[in-house]
């Protein structure tokens, strides 16, 4: 069996708990992984002066593959998102989030099997912002006025939304290539091109150009983001591969996770041409951190995606089969799933759920 070296970033909040569970399950799956632990998060500020030390970025560059727990980002003020910085530093331009029904997880629908492909490097997440009242904001407001672009109130904070031809082309192309590789038949591009003609309009134009190259092989449609949210809630089952600019993709990921049982089971990956960082959709869940209550399924399914990426597909499939078994059996599910399914059975701890999953893996084959 091939041994793979992977960088493990446990993160903060529930991250260390879900990451420890994930490591145990990956080891039980038979995959041969050498873990290189690297740190990131608010707790490093005192020692390193940054929540994302250069050594952590270097570690991922060395191993090329990482799996990370969530990392808290202060709201409104404080340092910028470590997650966004990591995606930028490694040019992880694809955020891939499969949304799959797991029987027993309390989803609103059966048979959901869609894949969110979210652009990960530009749009309102570019981090180009001007503080209200700053000299730069004043200059920008004056410039917009001069150009006849429209008037902005002088007490405005401003965030810039860049959407490029290059960025749009590579994400839409990734969605079509993913569809081709995985035998999927439809790509939906989501936008608000009717209002934002030079950003979302550009995204849509490029999407149509790329789609034309796949005509006859993969079908294409586009939807406006607000209508798309309504369509997803009414019936997500017709969706297949859905490609979004960054912000809409972020919001739709949580929405879609809610349709199949919640954030506790929603996995994901950030992928670039050279590196890949796997992580759950959810955040650091400070409300339950350190209490052994977190559902580690999302990080465990992210690890299964990582094993596929590394070519350890049998181990990945063993994990997914065991997850389906544990949910179908329903005796050891965490509190988030108990609430979704409105069950009055006692909630399993993170550790109890993980033990049940490992026991299920052992019974496979």
DSSP helix/strand/coil, 8: strand
Helix (H) / strand (E) element for 58: namely helix 54-63
The Cα 184–Cα 176 span in angstroms is 9
125 in active site: yes
Comparing CB distances to ligand NAI, the nearer of 312 and 335 is 335
| Residues 189/182, Cβ–Cβ less than 8 Å | no
Looking at 68, 123, 125, 336, which residue is catalytic? Answer: 125
Comparing CB distances to ligand NAI, the nearer of 218 and 303 is 303
The Cα 5–Cα 17 span in angstroms is 21
What is the nearest approach in angstroms of ligand NAI to the Cβ of residue 58?
A: 20
Q: What pairing do the DSSP bridges indicate for beta strands 241-244 and 32-37?
A: unpaired
- SS3 per-residue string spanning 234-275: HCCCCCCEEEECHHHHHHHHHHHHHHHCCHHHCCCEEECCCC
Comparing CB distances to ligand NAI, the nearer of 20 and 189 is 20
Q: What's the burial of 181, exposed, middle or buried (CB within 10 Å: 0-12/13-18/19+)?
A: exposed
Strands of the 94-100 sheet, one edge to the other: 32-37, 3-9, 65-68, 276-278, 269-271, 94-100, 113-119, 241-244, 186-191, 219-224
What is the nearest approach in angstroms of ligand NAI to the Cβ of residue 161?
A: 20
64 in active site: no
| Residues 303/67, Cβ–Cβ less than 8 Å | yes
Tell me which residues touch ligand NAI (CB under 6 A): 14, 18, 70-73, 83, 263-264, 279, 282-288, 294-295, 298, 336
Nearest 5°: the CA angle 129, 131, 132 is 130
What is the nearest approach in angstroms of ligand NAI to the Cβ of residue 112?
A: 19
Looking at 64, 68, 88, 192, which residue is catalytic? Answer: 192
| Residues 337/105, Cβ–Cβ less than 8 Å | yes
What is the nearest approach in angstroms of ligand NAI to the Cβ of residue 156?
A: 24
Closest residue to ligand NAI using C-beta atoms: 283
Place of tokens 């089969």: 321
Comparing CB distances to ligand NAI, the nearer of 117 and 294 is 294
| Residues 348/336, Cβ–Cβ less than 8 Å | no
Looking at 12, 200, 240, 250, which residue is catalytic? Answer: 250
What is the nearest approach in angstroms of ligand NAI to the Cβ of residue 69?
A: 7
Comparing CB distances to ligand NAI, the nearer of 137 and 280 is 280
Looking at 32, 226, 235, 314, which residue is catalytic? Answer: 226
155 in active site: no
226 in active site: yes
Comparing CB distances to ligand NAI, the nearer of 263 and 304 is 263
What is the nearest approach in angstroms of ligand NAI to the Cβ of residue 283?
A: 2
The residues assigned a catalytic role are 125, 192, 226, 250
């Amino acid at each position: 069996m091939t041994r793979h070296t992977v960088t493990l970033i446990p993160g903060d909040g529930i991250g260390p708990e879900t990451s420890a569970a994930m490591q145990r399950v990956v080891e039980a799956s038979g995959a041969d992984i050498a873990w290189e632990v690297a740190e990131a998060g608010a707790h490093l500020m005192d020692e390193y002066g940054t929540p994302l030390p250069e050594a952590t970025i270097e570690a991922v560059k060395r191993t090329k593959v990482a799996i990370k727990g969530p990392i808290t980002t202060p709201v409104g003020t404080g340092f910028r998102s470590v997650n966004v910085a990591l995606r930028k530093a490694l040019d992880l331009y694809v955020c891939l989030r499969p949304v799959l029904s797991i029987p027993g997880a309390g989803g609103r629908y059966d048979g959901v099997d869609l894949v969110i492909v979210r652009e990960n490097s530009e749009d309102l997440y570019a981090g180009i912002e001007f503080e209200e009242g700053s000299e730069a904001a004043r200059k920008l407001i004056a410039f917009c006025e001069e150009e006849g672009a429209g008037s902005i109130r002088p007490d405005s904070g401003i965030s810039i939304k860049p959407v490029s031809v290059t960025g749009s082309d590579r994400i839409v192309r990734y969605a079509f290539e993913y569809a081709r590789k995985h035998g999927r038949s439809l790509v939906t591009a989501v936008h608000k091109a009717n209002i934002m003609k030079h950003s979302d309009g550009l995204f849509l134009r490029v999407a149509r150009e790329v789609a034309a190259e796949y005509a006859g092989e993969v079908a294409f449609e586009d939807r406006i983001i607000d209508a798309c949210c309504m369509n997803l809630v009414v019936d997500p089952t017709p969706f297949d591969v859905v490609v979004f600019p960054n912000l809409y993709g972020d919001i739709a990921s949580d929405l879609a996770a809610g349709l199949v049982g919640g954030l506790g089971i929603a996995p994901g990956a950030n992928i670039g041409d050279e590196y890949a960082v796997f992580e759950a959709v959810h955040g650091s869940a400070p409300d339950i951190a350190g209490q052994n209550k977190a559902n580690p399924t999302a990080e465990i399914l992210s690890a299964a995606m990582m094993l596929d990426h590394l070519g350890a597909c049998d181990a990945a499939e063993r994990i997914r089969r065991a997850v389906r078994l544990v949910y179908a059996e329903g005796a050891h599910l965490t509190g988030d799933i108990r609430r979704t399914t409105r069950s009055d059975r006692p909630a399993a701890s993170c550790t109890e759920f993980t033990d049940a999953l490992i026991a299920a893996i052992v019974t496979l084959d």
